[in-house]
Amino acid sequence: QPTPAPQQHHHHAPSSGHKRRVMTLYHQTNQHAATLIKQHGFRPGSSGWCGGAIYFATSTQATYTKAIGPDSHKGAMLECQVDVGRVLHQDRRCGGHAHNQAELDGLGYDSIQFNPGDGDEYVIWDKSKVLSIKQIPI
């Protein structure tokens, strides 16, 4: 893990004690959806191990085995800078139930990381945590 740059103290930092931790993560979808995502940002899906959320893989290769749910499509690769903040680690079934932003807020976390068996996934509910979205060649 690269060492994060020293934290600068800004007055507009969120009061919740949110710790920024920006990662480069990947999401594969179809070209139509990719265009909409680039224009309007991600929308949480309706299903998945952790519930209806926005799911990211840690490599482009991993998106091929991960994009398998009913909401998943292939053909366009998005490389995203995601502020995962404080990460709640879950088991391979994401704790066995759907999660949501209110639950994470209550626990003091910003995102979930779990590994369903084919590599780590990061899960967020708040699309504002996606700082940038860039389509890259497949």
For residue 133, what are the contacts with CB-CB under 8 A and spacing of at least 6? 37, 38, 41, 42, 78, 79, 80
Could you tell me the pLDDT band of residue 11, with boundaries at 50, 70 and 90? very low
Q: What is the pLDDT of residue 38?
A: 96
DSSP-derived 3-state class of residue 99: coil
For residue 60, what are the contacts with CB-CB under 8 A and spacing of at least 6? 26, 28, 77, 79, 136, 138
Q: What angle do CA 79, 23, 130 make, to 5 degrees?
A: 60
Could you tell me the pLDDT band of residue 7, with boundaries at 50, 70 and 90? low
Of 10-24, 33-47, 109-123, give the lowest mean pLDDT range: 10-24
pLDDT at 13 over 80: no
Mean pLDDT of 105-115: 96
Per-residue pLDDT tens over the stretch 36-92 = 999 999 998 888 899 999 999 999 998 887 656 666 678 899 999 999 999 999 999
